Structure 1
Amino acid sequence: METITENQKVKVAKKLKKMFGHVDLRDTTLACPVRDVMALASDKWSILIILYLGYFPVLRFNQIKKKVYGISNKVLSERLKHLEGDGYLKRTMYPEVPVRVEYKLTDFGHSYLQKLIELTEWAEMHKECVISNRNRFQGVEA
Protein backbone atom coordinates (compact mmCIF):
# COMPACT_ATOMS: atom_id res chain seq x y z
CA MET A 1 0.00 0.00 0.00
CA GLU A 2 1.41 3.38 -0.94
CA THR A 3 1.67 6.18 1.59
CA ILE A 4 0.36 9.67 0.91
CA THR A 5 2.90 12.27 1.94
CA GLU A 6 2.10 15.65 3.46
CA ASN A 7 3.53 17.25 0.32
CA GLN A 8 1.03 15.33 -1.84
CA LYS A 9 -1.81 16.43 0.45
CA VAL A 10 -0.71 20.06 0.16
CA LYS A 11 -0.61 19.78 -3.66
CA VAL A 12 -4.12 18.30 -3.71
CA ALA A 13 -5.41 21.02 -1.37
CA LYS A 14 -4.00 23.70 -3.70
CA LYS A 15 -5.63 22.09 -6.73
CA LEU A 16 -8.97 21.89 -4.91
CA LYS A 17 -8.68 25.53 -3.83
CA LYS A 18 -8.02 26.52 -7.44
CA MET A 19 -11.02 24.45 -8.52
CA PHE A 20 -13.49 25.66 -5.88
CA GLY A 21 -11.91 28.82 -4.45
CA HIS A 22 -13.93 31.20 -6.63
CA VAL A 23 -17.26 29.48 -5.85
CA ASP A 24 -19.45 30.31 -2.87
CA LEU A 25 -20.04 26.73 -1.73
CA ARG A 26 -22.95 27.88 0.45
CA ASP A 27 -24.90 28.93 -2.66
CA THR A 28 -26.56 25.70 -3.77
CA THR A 29 -28.17 27.38 -6.80
CA LEU A 30 -24.84 27.67 -8.62
CA ALA A 31 -24.26 25.12 -11.34
CA CYS A 32 -21.18 23.07 -10.64
CA PRO A 33 -19.08 22.88 -13.83
CA VAL A 34 -17.28 19.77 -12.59
CA ARG A 35 -20.54 17.97 -11.96
CA ASP A 36 -21.97 19.17 -15.27
CA VAL A 37 -19.05 17.85 -17.31
CA MET A 38 -18.41 14.69 -15.31
CA ALA A 39 -22.01 13.55 -14.73
CA LEU A 40 -22.41 11.87 -18.09
CA ALA A 41 -18.83 10.88 -18.72
CA SER A 42 -18.45 9.16 -15.36
CA ASP A 43 -21.59 7.03 -15.13
CA LYS A 44 -21.00 3.28 -15.24
CA TRP A 45 -22.35 2.78 -18.75
CA SER A 46 -20.45 5.65 -20.35
CA ILE A 47 -17.19 4.55 -18.76
CA LEU A 48 -17.62 1.03 -20.17
CA ILE A 49 -18.58 2.38 -23.60
CA ILE A 50 -15.49 4.59 -23.70
CA LEU A 51 -13.20 1.79 -22.47
CA TYR A 52 -14.50 -0.63 -25.11
CA LEU A 53 -14.23 1.98 -27.87
CA GLY A 54 -10.66 2.53 -26.74
CA TYR A 55 -9.89 -1.17 -27.08
CA PHE A 56 -11.89 -1.76 -30.27
CA PRO A 57 -11.28 1.28 -32.51
CA VAL A 58 -14.67 1.02 -34.28
CA LEU A 59 -17.83 -0.64 -33.02
CA ARG A 60 -21.42 -0.85 -34.18
CA PHE A 61 -24.41 -0.47 -31.84
CA ASN A 62 -25.03 -4.19 -31.34
CA GLN A 63 -21.33 -4.87 -30.81
CA ILE A 64 -21.26 -2.27 -28.03
CA LYS A 65 -24.45 -3.74 -26.54
CA LYS A 66 -22.90 -7.22 -26.42
CA LYS A 67 -19.76 -5.93 -24.72
CA VAL A 68 -21.51 -3.65 -22.21
CA TYR A 69 -23.40 -6.46 -20.52
CA GLY A 70 -26.74 -5.51 -19.00
CA ILE A 71 -27.33 -2.21 -20.77
CA SER A 72 -30.70 -1.78 -22.47
CA ASN A 73 -31.10 -0.54 -26.04
CA LYS A 74 -32.73 2.65 -24.77
CA VAL A 75 -29.97 3.48 -22.28
CA LEU A 76 -27.23 2.61 -24.78
CA SER A 77 -28.84 4.84 -27.40
CA GLU A 78 -29.13 7.71 -24.89
CA ARG A 79 -25.53 7.36 -23.71
CA LEU A 80 -24.18 7.22 -27.25
CA LYS A 81 -26.10 10.38 -28.19
CA HIS A 82 -24.86 12.24 -25.11
CA LEU A 83 -21.27 11.08 -25.59
CA GLU A 84 -21.43 12.17 -29.22
CA GLY A 85 -22.96 15.50 -28.23
CA ASP A 86 -20.20 16.17 -25.69
CA GLY A 87 -17.55 15.24 -28.26
CA TYR A 88 -16.24 11.98 -26.78
CA LEU A 89 -17.17 9.88 -29.79
CA LYS A 90 -18.04 10.18 -33.46
CA ARG A 91 -21.00 8.46 -35.07
CA THR A 92 -20.71 7.60 -38.76
CA MET A 93 -23.72 6.47 -40.74
CA TYR A 94 -23.21 4.73 -44.08
CA PRO A 95 -25.99 4.94 -46.71
CA GLU A 96 -26.30 1.21 -47.22
CA VAL A 97 -29.21 -1.19 -46.99
CA PRO A 98 -29.48 -1.90 -44.16
CA VAL A 99 -27.94 1.29 -42.79
CA ARG A 100 -24.58 0.73 -41.09
CA VAL A 101 -23.70 2.97 -38.14
CA GLU A 102 -20.26 2.92 -36.51
CA TYR A 103 -18.91 4.60 -33.40
CA LYS A 104 -15.34 5.54 -32.58
CA LEU A 105 -13.59 7.77 -30.07
CA THR A 106 -12.57 11.28 -31.06
CA ASP A 107 -9.19 12.70 -30.04
CA PHE A 108 -11.03 14.33 -27.14
CA GLY A 109 -12.48 10.93 -26.20
CA HIS A 110 -8.99 9.42 -26.31
CA SER A 111 -7.72 12.11 -23.92
CA TYR A 112 -10.48 11.15 -21.47
CA LEU A 113 -9.73 7.45 -22.04
CA GLN A 114 -6.17 8.04 -20.82
CA LYS A 115 -7.53 9.35 -17.50
CA LEU A 116 -10.01 6.47 -17.26
CA ILE A 117 -7.17 4.00 -17.73
CA GLU A 118 -5.28 5.63 -14.86
CA LEU A 119 -8.39 5.36 -12.69
CA THR A 120 -9.01 1.72 -13.63
CA GLU A 121 -5.36 0.90 -12.90
CA TRP A 122 -5.77 2.54 -9.48
CA ALA A 123 -8.97 0.55 -8.88
CA GLU A 124 -7.26 -2.69 -9.87
CA MET A 125 -4.30 -1.96 -7.60
CA HIS A 126 -6.55 -1.15 -4.61
CA LYS A 127 -9.47 -3.54 -5.07
CA GLU A 128 -8.32 -5.90 -2.29
CA CYS A 129 -8.06 -2.98 0.12
CA VAL A 130 -11.57 -1.80 -0.80
CA ILE A 131 -13.04 -5.29 -0.41
CA SER A 132 -11.28 -5.73 2.94
CA ASN A 133 -12.49 -2.34 4.18
CA ARG A 134 -16.03 -3.07 2.95
CA ASN A 135 -16.09 -6.43 4.73
CA ARG A 136 -14.72 -4.92 7.93
CA PHE A 137 -17.33 -2.15 7.79
CA GLN A 138 -20.11 -4.71 7.28
CA GLY A 139 -18.74 -6.93 10.06
CA VAL A 140 -17.81 -9.78 7.74
CA GLU A 141 -14.81 -11.96 8.65
CA ALA A 142 -12.25 -12.31 5.89
Structure 2
Amino acid sequence: MNRRTALAGLVALATGLALAGCSTSDGEPQLEVTGAFMPQPVGDMAAGFLVVKNDGGTSDRLTSVTSPLSDDVTIHETKNQAMRMVTSFEVPAGGELNLERGGNHIMFMKLKQRPEQGEKVSIELHFEKADPIKVDLPVKETTYNPKKQ
Protein backbone atom coordinates (compact mmCIF):
# COMPACT_ATOMS: atom_id res chain seq x y z
CA MET A 1 0.00 0.00 0.00
CA ASN A 2 2.84 2.45 0.74
CA ARG A 3 4.17 2.11 -2.82
CA ARG A 4 0.78 2.96 -4.30
CA THR A 5 0.40 5.98 -2.00
CA ALA A 6 3.91 7.17 -2.81
CA LEU A 7 3.34 6.62 -6.56
CA ALA A 8 0.02 8.49 -6.42
CA GLY A 9 1.75 11.34 -4.59
CA LEU A 10 4.50 11.53 -7.22
CA VAL A 11 1.95 11.50 -10.06
CA ALA A 12 -0.01 14.30 -8.38
CA LEU A 13 3.17 16.32 -7.84
CA ALA A 14 4.31 15.83 -11.44
CA THR A 15 0.86 16.80 -12.75
CA GLY A 16 0.87 19.94 -10.59
CA LEU A 17 4.32 20.94 -11.83
CA ALA A 18 3.32 20.35 -15.44
CA LEU A 19 0.20 22.49 -15.04
CA ALA A 20 2.19 25.24 -13.35
CA GLY A 21 4.46 25.32 -16.41
CA CYS A 22 1.41 25.99 -18.58
CA SER A 23 0.44 29.16 -16.73
CA THR A 24 -1.13 31.72 -19.06
CA SER A 25 0.14 34.72 -17.11
CA ASP A 26 3.61 34.25 -18.62
CA GLY A 27 2.08 34.27 -22.10
CA GLU A 28 0.33 37.62 -21.80
CA PRO A 29 1.86 40.85 -23.11
CA GLN A 30 3.27 42.92 -20.22
CA LEU A 31 3.58 46.45 -21.55
CA GLU A 32 5.31 49.48 -20.10
CA VAL A 33 5.82 52.91 -21.70
CA THR A 34 8.99 54.95 -21.19
CA GLY A 35 10.76 57.94 -22.73
CA ALA A 36 7.57 59.67 -23.91
CA PHE A 37 7.79 63.24 -25.28
CA MET A 38 6.41 65.65 -27.86
CA PRO A 39 8.54 68.37 -29.44
CA GLN A 40 6.76 71.73 -29.20
CA PRO A 41 4.78 72.05 -32.44
CA VAL A 42 5.38 75.02 -34.73
CA GLY A 43 2.17 74.62 -36.77
CA ASP A 44 -1.09 72.71 -36.61
CA MET A 45 0.64 69.30 -36.60
CA ALA A 46 2.72 67.55 -33.95
CA ALA A 47 4.59 64.29 -33.44
CA GLY A 48 4.88 62.05 -30.41
CA PHE A 49 7.64 59.65 -29.46
CA LEU A 50 7.95 56.88 -26.86
CA VAL A 51 9.07 53.32 -26.22
CA VAL A 52 6.66 50.46 -25.50
CA LYS A 53 8.52 47.66 -23.71
CA ASN A 54 6.98 44.17 -23.61
CA ASP A 55 8.29 41.92 -20.83
CA GLY A 56 5.60 39.32 -21.58
CA GLY A 57 5.82 36.08 -23.48
CA THR A 58 3.39 37.12 -26.23
CA SER A 59 3.67 39.86 -28.81
CA ASP A 60 1.00 42.55 -29.13
CA ARG A 61 0.17 45.29 -31.62
CA LEU A 62 -0.29 49.01 -31.13
CA THR A 63 -3.45 49.62 -33.17
CA SER A 64 -4.33 53.27 -32.48
CA VAL A 65 -3.71 56.35 -30.37
CA THR A 66 -6.32 58.81 -29.12
CA SER A 67 -5.87 62.24 -27.56
CA PRO A 68 -7.96 65.27 -26.60
CA LEU A 69 -5.37 67.36 -28.49
CA SER A 70 -6.61 66.15 -31.89
CA ASP A 71 -9.41 64.12 -33.43
CA ASP A 72 -6.94 62.99 -36.13
CA VAL A 73 -4.14 60.98 -34.47
CA THR A 74 -2.40 58.32 -36.56
CA ILE A 75 0.69 56.13 -36.40
CA HIS A 76 3.35 56.45 -39.10
CA GLU A 77 6.36 54.48 -40.18
CA THR A 78 9.39 56.01 -41.82
CA LYS A 79 11.29 53.98 -44.43
CA ASN A 80 13.90 55.37 -46.80
CA GLN A 81 13.13 58.88 -45.51
CA ALA A 82 9.47 58.51 -46.57
CA MET A 83 6.65 58.66 -44.04
CA ARG A 84 3.40 56.70 -44.41
CA MET A 85 0.44 55.93 -42.19
CA VAL A 86 0.11 52.32 -40.95
CA THR A 87 -2.70 50.44 -39.21
CA SER A 88 -0.53 48.94 -36.44
CA PHE A 89 2.95 48.34 -35.06
CA GLU A 90 4.17 45.09 -33.52
CA VAL A 91 5.33 45.10 -29.91
CA PRO A 92 7.42 41.88 -29.88
CA ALA A 93 7.44 39.49 -26.93
CA GLY A 94 10.47 40.29 -24.79
CA GLY A 95 11.21 43.32 -26.98
CA GLU A 96 10.36 46.95 -27.67
CA LEU A 97 8.51 49.19 -30.07
CA ASN A 98 10.57 52.36 -30.51
CA LEU A 99 8.78 55.44 -31.77
CA GLU A 100 11.63 57.90 -32.26
CA ARG A 101 12.71 60.99 -34.19
CA GLY A 102 13.60 60.10 -37.76
CA GLY A 103 11.68 56.82 -37.47
CA ASN A 104 8.27 55.48 -36.60
CA HIS A 105 6.10 57.94 -34.64
CA ILE A 106 2.67 59.19 -33.59
CA MET A 107 1.25 61.99 -35.76
CA PHE A 108 -1.25 64.59 -34.51
CA MET A 109 -3.06 66.53 -37.26
CA LYS A 110 -5.33 69.60 -36.96
CA LEU A 111 -4.38 70.43 -33.36
CA LYS A 112 -7.18 71.89 -31.23
CA GLN A 113 -4.56 74.07 -29.50
CA ARG A 114 -0.78 74.35 -29.68
CA PRO A 115 0.86 72.95 -26.51
CA GLU A 116 3.77 74.91 -25.08
CA GLN A 117 7.09 73.63 -23.77
CA GLY A 118 6.67 72.42 -20.17
CA GLU A 119 3.04 71.33 -20.64
CA LYS A 120 1.88 67.72 -20.97
CA VAL A 121 -0.30 66.17 -23.65
CA SER A 122 -2.49 63.22 -22.65
CA ILE A 123 -2.75 60.26 -24.98
CA GLU A 124 -4.15 56.76 -24.78
CA LEU A 125 -2.46 53.86 -26.56
CA HIS A 126 -4.75 51.08 -27.80
CA PHE A 127 -3.52 47.52 -28.34
CA GLU A 128 -4.80 44.36 -29.94
CA LYS A 129 -4.54 42.32 -26.70
CA ALA A 130 -3.50 44.48 -23.75
CA ASP A 131 -5.69 47.07 -22.05
CA PRO A 132 -5.24 50.70 -23.16
CA ILE A 133 -2.39 52.64 -21.54
CA LYS A 134 -2.73 56.33 -20.68
CA VAL A 135 0.46 58.36 -21.10
CA ASP A 136 1.34 62.02 -20.60
CA LEU A 137 3.77 63.35 -23.22
CA PRO A 138 5.92 66.16 -21.77
CA VAL A 139 6.25 68.94 -24.36
CA LYS A 140 9.95 69.60 -24.99
CA GLU A 141 11.74 72.23 -27.08
CA THR A 142 11.12 71.91 -30.82
CA THR A 143 14.59 70.46 -31.54
CA TYR A 144 14.65 68.03 -28.57
CA ASN A 145 16.16 64.64 -29.35
CA PRO A 146 17.06 62.35 -26.41
CA LYS A 147 19.66 60.52 -28.54
CA LYS A 148 21.63 63.73 -28.89
CA GLN A 149 21.52 64.70 -25.20
TM over 0.5: no
Return the structure number with greater relative CO, CA threshold 8 A, min gap 6. 2
More strand by share: 2
TM-score (norm 1): 0.26
More helix by share: 1
